[in-house]
Amino acid sequence: MQLSTMRLFKRCAMAAIVVASTAFAASGDASGPAPAFTLTSLSGQQGALSQYKGQVVMVNFWATWCGPCQQEMPLLDQMYKKYKPAGFTLIGVNVDKDTPPVKDLLARKPVSFPVLLDPANQVSKAYHVDEMPSSVIIDRKGEIRYIHRGYRPGDENEYQDRIRQLIRE
């Protein structure tokens, strides 16, 4: 009696693993015009996506309470400095509901790319953000070309490949 329950349990666990691996929402190619937005930065200045038309843009959605977001920030900063001369821009869209933690974090760990605030989450909704962090890569014509969900060490290589590809277009 016990042995058959064990077997059933093992089968259920295997099924779990199989279903799990097939149902993961993967990063991948995407299409469609990138929704326009205008947001305010920490210093109070307005920033709009349209300012960067003609450049390859990566919009990175992040939050102070999200561990993997913190992990990728320094790498995004490096990437921004490297490809900026070639016509690339990175916009960090912060989704925190309150501003003070964002100020604190950026004071301790500053980045050189523009950071805009989206506390009402309108832009996150427009871009259908379904994972934290999310990075959306937009080509020079303003079309979305690639969406990357989540962050794991090594993902920055994928980002760089896509950016280089789009810069060459």
Contact positions toward other proteins, by CB under 8 A? 1-2, 5-6, 8-9, 12-13, 15-17, 19-24, 61, 63, 65-69, 95-97, 121, 124-125, 129-134, 150-153
Structure tokens that stand for 24 in this block: 């993961």
Give, to the nearest 10 degrees, the angle between helix 155-168 and helix 67-83. Answer: 30
Q: Give least dist CB 140 to other proteins, A.
A: 27
Q: Give least dist CB 168 to other proteins, A.
A: 30
Q: Give least dist CB 29 to other proteins, A.
A: 19
**Closer CB to other proteins, residue 19 or residue 44?**
19
**Closer CB to other proteins, residue 97 or residue 141?**
97
**Closer CB to other proteins, residue 81 or residue 125?**
125
* Cα angle: 68, vertex 137, 77; to 5 degrees: 50
Mapped onto helix, strand or coil, the DSSP state of residue 131 is coil
Burial class (CB in 10 A: 0-12, 13-18, 19+), 10: exposed
Q: Give least dist CB 127 to other proteins, A.
A: 10
**Closer CB to other proteins, residue 123 or residue 163?**
123
Query: In this structure, is the dihedral angle defined by the CA atoms of residues 40, 52, 80 and 151, taken in order, positive or negative?
Result: positive
